[in-house]
Amino acid sequence: MQRYFSSQTYEESQQSALVLSGDDFHHSIHVMRMKAGDQCYLVFADQVAIIAELTEVLAETVSLREVSRETQEKELPVAITIASGYPKGDKLDLIVQKGTELGAYQFVGFPGQTSVVKWDAKKLNKRQERLTKIAKEAAEQSHRLVQPEVTLYSQMSEFMATLANYDHVLVAYEESAKAGEHGQLVKTLSQIKPGESLLAVFGPEGGLSSQEIQTFLGAGGSLCALGPRILRTETAPFYLLSAASYQLELLKNV
């Protein structure tokens, strides 16, 4: 069943009729070919989700009525931010799409010292818009209550200035994997508490420089391996998010 995000809170939505308009109107009627009587999910800005039924299709909007509330917990109990040193090609698209499905709370991009691509402010804005759209579509498809935000920094220093905002900072490090490190991820995921935030940092294809590693360590980050195999820059976030879900959503509930 299709899922649409509203910019209103659930409370606000009660002040007037429920409608879909703009892109969501177009998608529901012209792509999904929905008709009166069909149902969809509506997700509000305060993470309330309802099942709604189409009551009437007008020229530019669709009217809906609430059928029931969605009660199942769909969001990870902790807010995980995936920070990627700019990788080549469209790998960031893949990271954002799959990372959203796997439960990431937000995405950050930064120019790593070994990043090959150099994006100017205009290009960064365009990329950020495109990635935000990818995150929105993946959030709808994967039944999320949150549309992850995407922030692309043009300077490493801007990104570093945000590190103090997070409760935990993990830095995925290839050399840790090679050295057989295996305790840090388990330690962090075992200690993190519901509602806390975790920043996970991933280098570009060429990895993080030793200077960058020192900077992250100096800012309170911990190095971690994601198993003994060497993962590509776009694959490592999938491992971290899946492990977090396994530890915090499956193991905790057994």
| Residues engaged in binding a second copy (CB under 8 A) | 72-74, 98, 101-103, 141-144, 178, 180, 182-183, 185-187, 226-232, 235, 238-239, 242-243, 245-247, 249-251, 253-254
Smallest distance from a second copy to CB 148, Å: 12
d(CA 42, CA 69): 10
Smallest distance from a second copy to CB 102, Å: 7
Nearest to 208 by CA among 182, 168, 170: 170
Measured from the CB atom, the residue of 39 and 142 that comes closer to a second copy is: 142
Measured from the CB atom, the residue of 111 and 136 that comes closer to a second copy is: 136
Smallest distance from a second copy to CB 104, Å: 11
Q: Given the DSSP bridges, would you call strands 39-43 and 222-224 parallel, antiparallel or unpaired?
A: unpaired
Smallest distance from a second copy to CB 122, Å: 30
Smallest distance from a second copy to CB 227, Å: 4
Six token digits for residue 119: 């994006």
Longest dimension (CA), the chain: 62
Measured from the CB atom, the residue of 103 and 111 that comes closer to a second copy is: 103
Measured from the CB atom, the residue of 110 and 248 that comes closer to a second copy is: 248
Give the 3-state secondary structure of 128-191.
HHHHHHHHHHHHHHCCCCCCCEEEECCCHHHHHCCHHHCCEEEEECHHHHHCCCCCHHHHHHHH
Measured from the CB atom, the residue of 69 and 187 that comes closer to a second copy is: 187
Is residue 60 within 8 Å of 40, Cβ to Cβ? no
Measured from the CB atom, the residue of 163 and 243 that comes closer to a second copy is: 243
Six token digits for residue 174: 């290839």
d(CA 132, CA 110): 16
Smallest distance from a second copy to CB 238, Å: 5
Smallest distance from a second copy to CB 106, Å: 16
Unique residue bearing structure tokens 């209103």: 8
Provide Rg for the chain, Cα atoms: 20
Measured from the CB atom, the residue of 169 and 244 that comes closer to a second copy is: 244
DSSP, collapsed to helix, strand or coil, labels residue 109 as strand
